[in-house]
Structure formats: structure tokens, C-alpha cells
Structure 1
Amino acid sequence: MDILRRKPYEDLMRNAQDKKLDRALGAFDITLMGLGIIIGTGIFVLTGIGAAKYAGPGLMLSFVLAAVTCAFVCMAYSELATFLPVSGSSYTYAYASLGEFFGWWVGWSLILEYSVGASAVAGGWSAYFVGLLHSCGIDLPKALTAVPADGGIINLPAFIIVLLATLCLIIGVREGARVNKILVVVKIVTIFVFLFFAGPHIEPSNWEPFLPFGWEGVTAGTAVLFFAYLGFDALSTAAEETKNPTRDMPIGIISALTICTILYIAVCATMTGVVPYEELNTAAPASYVLEYIGMRAGSALVGTGALCGLSTVVLNMLFAQSRALYSMSRDGLLPQGLYKVHEKYKTPYRVQIIVGIIVAFVSGFTPIQVVAEACSAGTIFAFLCSCVGILVLRKLYPNIKRGFRCPAVYLIAPLGFVFCAFVFAHLSPHTLELFVGWSVLGAVLYGVYGYRHSLLQKVVQVQEETQE
């Protein structure tokens, strides 16, 4: 079994030129998409949980460590996205560099990353939505706002927001980009409103002790917060729908990462400076901080902005998930019935509907803490493979022009691998067990279906029959 066969560069580029998907995105759209997906759960949900349970005020260092790690990986992704401007992101890069099995493994991890990630964000969206209604004097029954593990029947707001985002993405990528632009602007304004209201109430004494959980807490916080940096990975799935990917993808990826890191640290410093870190164990920390200082109106305003912000994350994660599955089905590793683009809307509507329904049910019935940690494992594994893949592709295709070349690649890529491996090793045992179980299930499915139905396998069979 040749499970390490690579998909040729020429075949991948031929896929990019089939023009089934609509090339409607520019550099500004990619940057906003990055802001839309990165700025969300990290600020509006995980900051509170991360400070209370993992790192305390030292969570600021967790963000810095995560950003440094992502900066190395970001350079690799910028080159990969211009070298292979096709849908699929890490899945496509691994398929072209490390071989089919690793491509499948990464693609299978992306399913965990994006689907589970979108579910976690939808859970955070629900928490802000319920809190906003509460501030208006409306209390929804717990049975309809909590998952069964928390004493409810279904988290209905989370369920509904996923279905609405799915509908928006089915209608078209242009329409999705327009909605994303509006919501991102609202989200950025909300962050500055929060900083304006909460900043004057910072008490430096709340930052003491700065590392209540020690450096171990900082690294553990980094492992969880990797969930907050999914954006630039997801951005590369849009390469096939970008007008000029060799120019627009690097600009969008690097700009989004830089802006988001600055805002993350500022918000984290403010939250932990206003409220003692032990009290931030909530899925809606931004609203809680403003309520803590007596600004109920500000809390409602920030809650509204957070809803918009988290909506963009759900939207973009569902987008990225569908494009990864679209690429896998195009290669035959998944049923090719999923490889179907709507004639009018130019979107892969079948896979988008399936993804939307599955994520909606996971959102409605699964606790947010469980899904957030599981998502980080898939993300980091994809990063690890991409750091190796860029070096392999440099060796395999040294003369093919790159729109962006990673500087000092033989230093940057190994550093990215080492940093990602360090963070991966600090994931919780439960998360690692879940990732191993998910990987084993994926390997079984590959052996049962993917290997035999792969288009590369069919090419090999035709060659063998011809030789006979």
C-alpha cells in the first residue's frame, strides 16, 4: 500500500483553475476574514476561563507565547498559500508534501478543528445572547439555553446561530464577505468601547500574584488559547476564492495575526486588572467585567458587540470546514457527491449543509470547555505538518516561483515545529486522549474508504492495467 503517494503539483494547480468557485475576495477581505475568525472566542470567551483556571494575570504571557509560535507558522502558511493557492489549507499542503495518508490525517484533524471550534464559539455566542436578554429583563428557561451536561435539554441559541450562518454561506461567498465586513467593524468598535469603559478601573494590585499557577500555568494557558489563533489557518482555505492569492493571502494572514495579538493582550490586561482573576470563570467575561464595575448599559453594549464578533467566527469556521471537506471529496478521499457546487450561488452547498447540521447538533448538546480543548489539538497538529511540509516542498519544487517566500525558512520552519510541539505536549491528558481516539477512527476510515476511492489510487490502477 502506497499510503505516502503525493498529489502532483500540476494536478493541484489544475484543480485551482477549474473555476467552479467564485474568486471574489481581495487582500482587505482576507484581512477582515482573519479578524472575523481570530477575534472572537479568544477575547470574548476563553480569556476569562483561561485566567481563572490556568494562568491568572499571566495569561498575557500565554497570549505572547501563542503569538510567537503562530508568527513562525504564519510565515510558513503565507508561502504555502501562495505556492498552492487552492482550497483545503493544511490538508492540501500535507497531501502535496508528506503524502496521502498525512494529507488525510491533517484533513481529518481539520474536521475536529473547525467543526468543534465552531461549536465552542456558538456556545459562547449563546452565553452572551442569554446575558443580553437578562439585562433587558428577559430570562429564557434553562432547559433551552443549557446542554444536558449542565442541566438543560438543548442550547437552542447556539443551535440556531449555526443554522443561520450556514444559510448565509450557502447563498454565496460575496454575501458572506459583506456580512463579515459589517460584523467585524462592529466587533472592533466593541473592543475599544470595552477598553474605554473598563480601562480607568484597572487596579494593579489585581495583577498580583502575576503567575499564581507558575510557568506551568502559562504554558497550559497557551495550549488552550491556541484555539483563539485558528484564523490564519482557516484563511488559507479561501485561496481558491481569492482574486490574487499570491499577493492577497500573505497580506491578509500577517496583518490579521498582528492586529489580533495586540488587541488580545490589551483586553486580557484590562480584564485581569479590573476583576480578580478567580472571578473570571464565565463564558461572557467582557460583559461580566463591566457589570462588576456597575456599568450595566456598557455591559449590554459590549454583549451586543460580542454577539456580532462571535457570529463572524462561527461564519468563517463553517466556511473553512466546508472548503476542507470540499477538497477532500474532490480528491476522492470522501464521497464525491460532496463535490458539488451550486449553479447559481457558486458554493459547495451539499457539504455546507452537512457541516451546518452536524455543528448545530454538537453546539446544542456539548459543553464548551470540552470542545474548546479538543479543537486546539487538531490545530497544532496541522501546524506541525505544515512546518515540515514547507521544507519538503522547497526540496521537491525548488524552481517554482512563490508569491511569498518565508525568510530564513530552514530556521523559521523548525522553530515553528519546536514551539508547536512544546505547546502540544502541554495539552491536557483528556485532550490528547481524544485526539488519539479521533486519529485512530480517521485511520480506520481511510483504510476502509479513502485509500480505495482516492483518485490517485485509480490512476495507479489504470497504469497497472495498461502495463499488463
Structure 2
Amino acid sequence: MTGRIGVARGTVLYIGAVLGPGVLVLPALAVQAAGPASLLAWALMLAVSVPIAAAFAALGIRYPDSGGVATFTRRAFGPTAATVAGWWFYAAVPIGMVAGAVAGARYAATALGGGHGAAAVIAAGILAAAYALNLVGLHWSSRLHLALTGGLCALLVTVIVVSVPHVEMSRFTPFTPQGLSGVASATAVLFVAICGWEAAAHLAGEFTRPRRQLPIVAGASLGIIAILYAGLAICTVGVLGTSGGSSEVPLLRLLGPQADLAAVVTALCALLLTFGACFTFIAAAARAAAALGRDKAFPDWFAATRAGVPRRSLAVQAGGAAVVAVAVLAAPTVVDVDLLMRAFSVLLAAVTLLGLAAAVRLLSSPLIRGGAAVGAVVVGGVAACSGPLLILPAAVAVAASTWRRHRAVPRDLPAGRPVPKPAGGTRPRRIAEVDVQPRRSYDLVNPAARTAASSRTHRNR
């Protein structure tokens, strides 16, 4: 598909990367945390989307690679940072996919008149189908993704149009029942609503003219997403009030008790949306792990593929999702959708923070670098609002760093000592030189600089 994406198709793909099953429950979770003041959290998240989208679009143009944020951080901060970023993303996906599958399954179960048991069966079916079809490959996923994204946008527009006449200003008071702490809590969970820009950066190499098209695509997708999210957030508060926070299916409630057929259609669209998002995220994580195995940021075992499909990576992902699903079934009052969404949010916030820091260091545009710095400060604040859940990215970072040190420096050789000379007379390399120093920024984007550097190397020898 290289070089075949235009502005229209790219805009739809970017929207699909950011919008996901979280939109089914996030408005209610935000109202539960902050009441009507959740609108402030929405406004902050939509505002910070602007510099984040610009930074990742610029990075995608300059460094197109399936490694995503790990590639950016490797070039900016070295392989250890890349390893940590890759582990964060890979750990986040099983958590987020189970949360999304449960949220979508609840809509379908409600439409069918089923309870939590039916929702559990449907969620398991969504995840099983998403992982199984990833084993087949991605040759058919592009058109499916486009169709699902179009259906999602139509669904959200329908909900907003039906709900607007029922908005009452009295439901916006009291505006801050939980105070500023509630707004901070809502902001932490709403980060899931704007994550996806870093994933969309992987598409840069697929555009026919990325330098010309990507700014248009990023701007158009950002505008559409902002309108949909803002309309949905306002309608949730203005129609449902604080009671919207107690609903597991807020979109169905917005359609009204008389809209039975519309509720069924909404549930089916939510089901398809959930499957599409799970399929796409699982594919991205599996291929990112294969790229990280290639770059020695994951065990080499992950790099193996069969017919282009990273089956080993998919198997590990499926096992992680199964563990999370069992935890949800065993302790539903402790491990609920809210907790899973917040865990998913804090891990993706950590990934985004590293990516924005890489943008500040690598990009040349003062405007984009400044926006990335502002975005990094906001995302760091969002992560800090996660409270005890910060232990998740911290624990994953310690595990990744420990694995990296153990793998990069053999126990019988101190760091910086020459590796024993191999057969054939190849000049020995130092471990510190090979495993710690990031690659130069010109080797993908400036062929002339690469040629000049190669000539200097030969002259020095």
C-alpha cells in the first residue's frame, strides 16, 4: 500500500486511529469523576491534541518506521529509552483491548436484553475474533477500517443531533461538585480519548506526498474529532446530568427510551467499532514488537514472522489479554472498566511523553518543538493525576531497563571492554559504542549527508 494514500483516505485513517471504543464510556466516566466540570477536562484534552498531532506528524514525516515512538526515542535518547517505550506500548494494549471489548459488549448485551453474563461472552468473542483474524493478515483490514470509521462518525453525529433538543441548562449546575480534584481525575481518564496520534505517525510513509498532505490530514482529522467529542461531552452533561456518570451505556440513554430500533443499531455499530479498534491495535502492537525484536529492544524471539504475520508476538498478546479478562471475571468490583481505562491511559501517557520529548530534541521547527514541549508538560501532568497507577509505567520501565542491561552487557565482560574478535578478522566493536549510542538522524532523511559521512569514514580508516 506504499504511496497510495491521499488526503481523504488519510484523514479517515487518522480519525480511526484516535477514535476508539473508549468513546462509548469515556463521557460517563468523566461525568462520574467531575460532574459538569468534566467539560473543562475535555477542553484541555482537545487543546493539547493540537501540538501532539503536529509533533507526531512531523516525526512521522522525518522518521517513517514501524517502530513508531520507539524509533523516535532511539534516535533522541538511545536504545534504553526505545526499549522502555516499546515495553510500555506492548503492556498497554492487552489492558486497553479488554476494557474496550467489555465496553462494546455491554452495549450489544443491553440491546439484546442480556445481562453481564451475555456481555462477558460477547467480549470474549470480540477478542477471540480480533486475535484470530490477525493471524490471517492485514491485506483486507484497510477497507474494513475505513468502513468502521465512517460508521462510527455517522453514529456519533446521529447521537448528537438526536440529543441536542433535550439539553437543559439546569443540568450544568452545580458545575464543580467534586472541585478541581475531580477535574484532574477526569483529565487522567480522558487521555484515552486523544491517544492515537503516535500510532498514526506510522502511516507517514504510505502517503503519495507526505510533506504536503500530512499537515492537511492532521488538521482535518483534528477538527472532526474535536467537533464529535465536544458535542458528545456537552450532550452527556446537558441531557443526562450527573446521572450520566452511573450509566454503563450512556450513548443508548442519550437516544431516549422510545428509540428502540436506534438503540439496536447503535449497539451493533458499537460492536463493530470495538472489533475494528481491537483488530487495529492488536495488529499495531504485534508488528511493533516484531520491529523491537529486530532492533534488540525485545527478545529476538519476537522478530520471527511467518508469511509476514508476527504469530509469536500475537500469541503473547493474546495470553496477556486472557490474564486481564480472567481478572475482570474474578473480581469485577475491583478490576472494572474504569480501572482498566485508567491503566491504559497512564501507560499511553508515558509513551506519548517520551515521543514528545523526542520531538523537542529531534525536530528543527521552533514552533513545533515549542508545542511539543507544552504538550509534554500537560501530558506529564495528566500522568501525575493517575496517582497510585503510576506504579504501572514505573514497574514496566524497571523491568525493561533491567532486561536491557542484562542483555546488552554479558556478565563476564564489563561495559566498554572490546568484544572478543570473531573469526574472519573483523575489527572488534565496543559494547558501549554498539548498544548505547543512538543512530544519526541523517541516515533516513538526507542521502547526501549519509554519502559524505561514509566517505569521511573510509578516509579515516
**TM-score bracket, shorter-length normalisation:** 0.7 to 0.9
Match of 1:56 in 2: 35
For residues 123 and 408 of structure 2, what CA distance do their matches in structure 1 show?
Answer: 32
Match of 1:358 in 2: 320
Match of 2:230 in 1: 265
For residues 291 and 218 of structure 2, what CA distance do their matches in structure 1 show?
Answer: 21
**Residue 64 (structure 1) shift:** 1.4
Match of 1:8 in 2: none
**Residue 389 (structure 1) shift:** 1.2
The RMSD of aligned alpha carbons is 3.0
For residues 319 and 459 of structure 1, what CA distance do their matches in structure 2 show?
Answer: 40
For residues 339 and 109 of structure 2, what CA distance do their matches in structure 1 show?
Answer: 20
1:466 maps to a residue whose letter is: R
301-310 vs 55-64, greater mean Cα deviation: 301-310
Instruction: Give the number of the structure whose alpha-carbon radius of gyration is greater.
Output: 2
**Residue 390 (structure 1) shift:** 2.0
1:392-445 CA-to-partner distances (Å, cap 9, x unmatched) read 224xxx6xxxxxxx5613422221222222222222x22112332232233333
1:362 maps to a residue whose letter is: V
1:290–1:299 CA contact under 8 A, matched in 2: yes
Match of 1:36 in 2: 16
The structure 1 residue matched to 2:356, chosen from 387, 393, 399, is 387
Note the 1:422-437 alignment, pairs <5 A: 422-427=381-386, 429-437=387-395
Alignment partner of 1:182 is 2:182? no
195-204 vs 101-110, greater mean Cα deviation: 195-204
1:342–1:348 CA contact under 8 A, matched in 2: yes
Note the 1:39-438 alignment, pairs <5 A: 39-52=19-32, 54-134=33-113, 139=114, 142-143=116-117, 145=119, 155-239=120-204, 245-247=210-212, 249-291=214-256, 293-343=257-307, 346-363=308-325, 365-366=327-328, 367-394=336-363, 406=365, 408-427=367-386, 429-438=387-396
Match of 1:445 in 2: 403
Structure 1 residues 370, 211: closer, same or farther in 2, change over 3 A? same
2:60–2:203 CA contact under 8 A, matched in 1: no
For residues 421 and 89 of structure 2, what CA distance do their matches in structure 1 show?
Answer: 32
1:264-285 CA-to-partner distances (Å, cap 9, x unmatched) read 1101111111112234323321
2:356 maps to a residue whose letter is: C
2:101–2:126 CA contact under 8 A, matched in 1: yes
1:439-468 CA-to-partner distances (Å, cap 9, x unmatched) read 223333333346669xxx999847897259
1:36–1:309 CA contact under 8 A, matched in 2: no
1:308-355 CA-to-partner distances (Å, cap 9, x unmatched) read 222222122112212321221111222333223443xx4434423432
381-390 vs 444-453, greater mean Cα deviation: 444-453
1:30–1:235 CA contact under 8 A, matched in 2: no
Q: Which runs of 5+ in 1 are unaligned?
A: 1-20, 146-154, 399-405
Structure 1 residues 287, 376: closer, same or farther in 2, change over 3 A? same
Structure 1 residues 132, 361: closer, same or farther in 2, change over 3 A? farther
For residues 176 and 460 of structure 1, what CA distance do their matches in structure 2 show?
Answer: 47
Structure 1 residues 27, 174: closer, same or farther in 2, change over 3 A? farther
1:32–1:256 CA contact under 8 A, matched in 2: yes
Structure 1 residues 324, 467: closer, same or farther in 2, change over 3 A? closer
Structure 1 residues 341, 57: closer, same or farther in 2, change over 3 A? same
Structure 1 residues 30, 351: closer, same or farther in 2, change over 3 A? farther
Aligned length, in residue pairs: 416
For residues 208 and 279 of structure 2, what CA distance do their matches in structure 1 show?
Answer: 21
For residues 216 and 104 of structure 1, what CA distance do their matches in structure 2 show?
Answer: 34
1:235–1:253 CA contact under 8 A, matched in 2: no
For residues 166 and 22 of structure 1, what CA distance do their matches in structure 2 show?
Answer: 25
1:38–1:231 CA contact under 8 A, matched in 2: yes
For residues 247 and 351 of structure 1, what CA distance do their matches in structure 2 show?
Answer: 35
- Same amino acid, percent of matched pairs: 22
For residues 451 and 331 of structure 1, what CA distance do their matches in structure 2 show?
Answer: 16
1:232–1:253 CA contact under 8 A, matched in 2: no
**Residue 95 (structure 1) shift:** 0.8
2:28–2:245 CA contact under 8 A, matched in 1: yes
**Residue 96 (structure 1) shift:** 0.9
For residues 238 and 460 of structure 1, what CA distance do their matches in structure 2 show?
Answer: 40
Q: Which runs of 5+ in 2 are unaligned?
A: 329-335, 430-461
1:24–1:173 CA contact under 8 A, matched in 2: no
2:360–2:370 CA contact under 8 A, matched in 1: no
**Residue 48 (structure 1) shift:** 0.7
2:191 maps to a residue whose letter is: F
**Residue 217 (structure 1) shift:** 1.9
1:59 maps to a residue whose letter is: S
1:194–1:286 CA contact under 8 A, matched in 2: yes
For residues 112 and 257 of structure 1, what CA distance do their matches in structure 2 show?
Answer: 27
